Chains A and B, each alone.
Chain A
Amino acid sequence: MQPQSLQLSGIRKGFGADDVLKEIDLSVRPGEFLSLVGMSGCGKSTLLRIMAGLETPDSGTVSIGSRDVTNVDPSDRDLAMVFQSYALYPHMSVRQNIATPLRMRNLSLGARLPLIGRMTAKASVLSKIDAAVNEAADVLQIGHLLDRKPAQLSGGQRQRVALARALVRSPAAFLMDEPLSNLDAKLRAHMREELSGLHRRLGATFIYVTHDQIEAMTMSDRIALMSSGRIEQLGTPDELYQQPATVTVARFIGTPSINLLPVEIDASGRVMALGRPLGVSVPARYAGPAMLGIRAEDLRPAAGGFAVKVLRSETYGADRYVTGHLADDQAVCIVMRQAAGDPIAVNGEGLSHLVFPEQRAHLFGADGNRIETTVPARIAI
Chain B
Amino acid sequence: MVLLRKYLPHLVLALGAIPMLLPFYWMLLTSFRSPAEIFDVSLWPIPKNFDAVENYARAAGQVPMARFMLNGVIVCLGILIAQVLTAVPAAYALAKLRFPARKLMLSLVIAALCIPMQALALPLYVGLAKTDLLNTYFAMMSPFFLSVFAIFLFHQSFRSYPDEIIEAARIDGFSEMEICWGLVLRGSLPSLAAFAVFSLVAHWNDLYWPMIVVTDTNLAPPPLGMLFFSDVESGANYGALMAGATIITAPMVVCFLFARKHFIAGLTMTGVK
Chain A residues with CB under 8 Å of chain B are 49, 52-54, 73-75, 77, 79-81, 83-91, 100-101, 104-105
Given A74-B171, A75-B170, A84:B164 Cβ within 8 A:
yes
Q: Which residues of B contact A81 (CB under 8 A)?
A: 167-168, 171
A90 to B187, CA, bound (A): 8
10 more A-B residue pairs beyond the given contacts A49-B167, A90-B165, with a C-beta to C-beta distance below 8 A = A53-B171, A54-B167, A54-B170, A73-B170, A75-B171, A75-B173, A83-B164, A87-B168, A89-B168, A91-B186
A80 touches B165 (CB 8 A): no
A104 touches B164 (CB 8 A): no
Q: Which residues of A contact B186 (CB under 8 A)?
A: 91
A87 touches B170 (CB 8 A): no
* Chain B min CB distance to A111 (Å): 13
A85 touches B171 (CB 8 A): no
A49 to B163, CA, bound (A): 13
Given A83-B167, A83-B168, A87-B165, A104:B187 Cβ within 8 A:
no
Asked if B132 is an interface residue, CB under 8 A from chain A, the answer is no
Asked if B169 is an interface residue, CB under 8 A from chain A, the answer is yes
Asked if B162 is an interface residue, CB under 8 A from chain A, the answer is yes
Query: Could you give 6 example pairs across A and B, Cβ below 8 Å?
Result: A49-B167, A54-B170, A75-B174, A89-B168, A104-B172, A105-B173
A274 to B168, CA, bound (A): 55
* Chain A min CB distance to B265 (Å): 15
Complex partner residue of A89 from B167, B169, B170, B171, CB under 8 angstroms: B169
Complex partner residue of B187 from A86, A91, A101, CB under 8 angstroms: A91
B171 touches A79 (CB 8 A): yes
Chain B residues with CB under 8 Å of chain A are 162, 164-165, 167-174, 183, 186-187
Interface of B is mostly: helix
Q: Which residues of B contact A100 (CB under 8 A)?
A: 172
A101 touches B172 (CB 8 A): yes
A74 to B170, CA, bound (A): 6
Q: Which residue of B lies closest to A73 (CB)?
A: B170
Among B168, B169, B172, B187, the most chain A Cβ lie within 10 Å of the Cβ of B168
* Chain B min CB distance to A18 (Å): 16
A100 to B165, CA, bound (A): 13
B173 touches A104 (CB 8 A): yes
Q: Which residues of A contact B167 (CB under 8 A)?
A: 49, 52, 54, 74, 81, 83, 87
A267 to B172, CA, bound (A): 61
A51 to B220, CA, bound (A): 59
* Chain A min CB distance to B193 (Å): 16
A315 to B175, CA, bound (A): 56
* Chain B min CB distance to A145 (Å): 19
Q: Which residue of A lies closest to B171 (CB)?
A: A74
A75 touches B164 (CB 8 A): no
Q: Which residues of A contact B164 (CB under 8 A)?
A: 83-87
Interface of A is mostly: loop
The 9 tightest CB contacts between A and B, nearest first, are A75-B173, A104-B173, A87-B164, A87-B168, A83-B164, A87-B165, A74-B171, A101-B172, A74-B170
Among A73, A75, A79, A101, the most chain B Cβ lie within 10 Å of the Cβ of A75
Q: Which residues of B contact A85 (CB under 8 A)?
A: 162, 164
A85 to B162, CA, bound (A): 9
A54 to B183, CA, bound (A): 18
B173 touches A87 (CB 8 A): no
A101 touches B170 (CB 8 A): no
* Chain B min CB distance to A4 (Å): 16
* Chain B min CB distance to A160 (Å): 16
A73 to B187, CA, bound (A): 25
Q: Which residues of B contact A105 (CB under 8 A)?
A: 173
A52 to B168, CA, bound (A): 10
Q: Which residue of B lies closest to A52 (CB)?
A: B171
B174 touches A104 (CB 8 A): yes
Q: Which residues of A contact B168 (CB under 8 A)?
A: 81, 83, 87, 89
A53 to B174, CA, bound (A): 14
Q: Which residues of B contact A104 (CB under 8 A)?
A: 172-174
A100 to B186, CA, bound (A): 16
Q: Which residues of A contact B187 (CB under 8 A)?
A: 90-91
* Chain A min CB distance to B122 (Å): 45
Q: Which residues of A contact B171 (CB under 8 A)?
A: 52-54, 74-75, 77, 79-81
A158 to B173, CA, bound (A): 21
A75 touches B165 (CB 8 A): no
A100 to B169, CA, bound (A): 9
A53 to B170, CA, bound (A): 9
A86 to B174, CA, bound (A): 17
Among B171, B172, B174, B183, the most chain A Cβ lie within 10 Å of the Cβ of B171
A81 to B165, CA, bound (A): 11
A87 to B183, CA, bound (A): 12
Q: Which residues of B contact A79 (CB under 8 A)?
A: 171
Q: Which residues of A contact B162 (CB under 8 A)?
A: 85, 87
* Chain B min CB distance to A225 (Å): 25
* Chain A min CB distance to B35 (Å): 54
* Chain B min CB distance to A146 (Å): 18
* Chain B min CB distance to A379 (Å): 55
A77 to B167, CA, bound (A): 14
A52 to B169, CA, bound (A): 12
* Chain A min CB distance to B99 (Å): 13
* Chain B min CB distance to A224 (Å): 22
A62 to B141, CA, bound (A): 51
* Chain A min CB distance to B116 (Å): 38
* Chain A min CB distance to B17 (Å): 35
Q: Which residues of A contact B183 (CB under 8 A)?
A: 89, 91
A79 to B183, CA, bound (A): 21
Q: Which residues of B contact A90 (CB under 8 A)?
A: 165, 187
Q: Which residues of A contact B169 (CB under 8 A)?
A: 89
Among B165, B167, B170, B174, the most chain A Cβ lie within 10 Å of the Cβ of B167
